[in-house]
Amino acid sequence: MTIDPTRIGELVTERTTGILGVHVYGMACDVDGIQKIAEEYGLRVLYDGAHSFGTEVDGRPVAQFGDATMFSFHATKLFHSAEGGALAVLDPLLKNRIDLLKNFGIKNENEVVMPGINGKMNEIQAALGLVVLRHVDAEREARGRLAKVYDERLGSLEGVSVFSLPGHVRSSMQYYVIRVDEKVAPVGRDRLYEKLREFNVFSRRYFHPLCSSLNCYRSHPSASPQNLPVANRIAGEVLALPFFGALGVEGANRVSDMIHHIFQNS
């Protein structure tokens, strides 16, 4: 469910300056394929890594690929500081420019060298992040146990695809998503979402609605559904299930029982 490198080349024009990939649900993009295209056309590579804190490719942190990777530390993330994020870059010169841009362009007490914004993390957020960081490994392990339950209990359901990563990619354990093919499954994604709410289980149709379907964007030619057939299909199939360590294996089994019940009685 990530950007397809085989499609990038045909979309490059003389106005193209970069490639923006999104590591969706912690699944890394085809970083090698994208880098090959970038080098062929002389493009920069930026990654939206909001879901990918802890994701690795062939044992390497995902932030080591591309020119820059942006992480989200919003309160919904496994590692968080309530709000904010981090920008990871490999180029020291780019790092220096970012440091200026995030602090009003202030170089020192006498020099302001460029326009900028107030993009700094405050001390309270940083303190919270340091505390949360102590618990990240334990939370990842707990979520791993939940994922095994969901894999075993839901992977065989008709019309359901569980989210699996290739062997060389380490999951961020940020989300656990399933895809429901309403042409095959006895119940569609939206119906499953509503029925789970009746059990007081709040899943999430993520991403729904697509940005391209919103009034403020739909007039853009690039937002045409004809240009985004895969994204539109995925947006109607994906459901993010409850996925937090305190849910426990028993809780994951109960959620699975509910989904089985809904499928059997729909």
| 226-247 pLDDT, tens digit each | 989 999 999 999 999 999 999 9
Phi, psi of 107 (to 5 degrees): -85, -45
How many percent of the chain have pLDDT more than 90?
97
- At residue 129, the 3 state secondary structure works out as helix
At 63-93, the pLDDT tens digits run 999 999 999 999 999 999 999 999 999 999 9
| Burial of 109 from C-beta contacts in 10 A (0-12 / 13-18 / 19+) | exposed
Q: What is the chain's mean pLDDT, rounded?
A: 96
CB 37 within 8 A of CB 19: yes
Closest CA to 70 of 38, 43, 102: 102
Asked if residue 183 has pLDDT above 90, the reply is yes
Asked if residue 266 has pLDDT above 90, the reply is no
Record the tokens describing residue 238, joined without a space: 């994906």
| pLDDT value, residue 51 | 97
Average pLDDT over residues 30-40: 97
Closest CA to 47 of 33, 61, 29, 59: 29
Q: Confidence band (pLDDT; 50, 70, 90) for 7?
A: very high
- CB-facing half-sphere around the CA of 152: CA atoms within 13 A: 9
CB 12 within 8 A of CB 43: yes
At 133-148, the pLDDT tens digits run 999 999 999 999 999 9
| Burial of 34 from C-beta contacts in 10 A (0-12 / 13-18 / 19+) | buried
Class of domain 5-133: alpha beta
What's 45's DSSP letter?
Answer: E
Provide the whole-model pTM: 0.92
Question: Is domain 137-264 given the CATH code 3.90.1150.10 in the classification?
Answer: yes
| pLDDT value, residue 108 | 95
Alpha-helix residue ranges (DSSP H) falling in 183-247: 189-198, 229-235
Please report, for the chain, the start and end positions of each structural domain, with discontinuous segments joined by +: 5-133, 137-264
| pLDDT value, residue 164 | 87
C-alpha to C-alpha distance for 139 and 62, rounded to whole angstroms: 20
At 36-71, the pLDDT tens digits run 999 999 999 999 999 999 999 999 999 999 999 999
